[in-house]
Amino acid sequence: MTDSTPSTDAENLADLTDEQWKQRLTPAEYRVLRQAGTEAPFTGEYTDTTTVGVYRCRACDAELFRSEQKFESHCGWPSFFSPLAGDTIIEVEDNSLGMRRVEVLCANCKSHLGHVFAGEGYDTPTDLRYCINSISLKLEPADQRPLP
Ligand SMILES: [Zn+2]
């Protein structure tokens, strides 16, 4: 964890081809982030993580979620009840697999993060569950943040 410099700016990211994404990402990251795949439940490295910090986009380093909004959903994936700010993510309707779901994308690089589910009865301020693949995220622990 030595790369703290934000990599590419949003304009360049929008122009990246699939081949360029493949070079930037591991095959597993590419399958989830760029092909809207889903990692197997209870396998992601952040599923039960309670470390205080900021979760960044694995593809572009944009700040997406904070540990303060992470909660234990027991669903097998890291779950957040709110994004860090409303404009860090994009929500789009996803009717694949015969289900009506809402897909969550990184607003900066348009990579797939996961899905958001509403009204499930979780005891959180929003009753939303942003169900996010660990592999789409990169945790920056608060005590490792570079000083300004
Ligand atoms: Zn991104």
Mean pLDDT of 35-41: 97
Output the CA 50–ligand 1 centroid distance in Å.
Answer: 22
Q: Cα dihedral angle (82, 11, 137, 134), rounded to 10 degrees?
A: 100
Ion ligand 1 residue ranges (Cβ < 5 Å): 57, 59-60, 62, 106, 108-109, 111
> Which of 110, 58, 55 minimizes the C-alpha distance to 85?
55
Read out DSSP for 60-100? T--EEEEGGGEE---SSS-EESS-SSGGGEEEEEE-GGG--
What is the model's pLDDT at position 97? 87
Cα–ligand 1 centroid distance for 51 (angstroms) = 21
pLDDT at residue 85, rounded to an integer: 86
Judged on CB neighbours under 10 Å (0-12, 13-18, 19+), 131 is buried
Strand order through the sheet with 128-132: 70-71, 79-80, 128-132, 112-118, 101-106, 89-94
Q: pLDDT tens digits for 93-143?
A: 999 889 999 999 999 999 999 999 999 999 999 999 999 999 999 999 998
DSSP, res 3: -
The residues facing 76 across adjacent strands are: none
How confident is the prediction for the chain on average, in pLDDT? 91
pLDDT at 47: 97
Q: Cα(93) to centroid of ligand 1, in Å?
A: 19
- b/e per residue 105-120 (b: at least 16 CB within 10 A): bbbbbbbbbbbbbeee
Verify whether residue 57 is a known catalytic residue: no
Which is higher by pLDDT, 14 or 20? Answer: 20
Cα(108) to ligand 1 centroid in Å equals: 5
Walk me through the domains of the chain, giving residue ranges and CATH numbers.
Answer: 10-143 (2.170.150.20)
For residue 110, how far is the Cα from the chain centroid?
11
Ligand 1 centroid to Cα of residue 13, in Å, is 9
Q: Confidence class of residue 12 from pLDDT cuts 50, 70 and 90?
A: confident
Q: How confident is the model at residue 13 (pLDDT cuts 50, 70, 90)?
A: confident
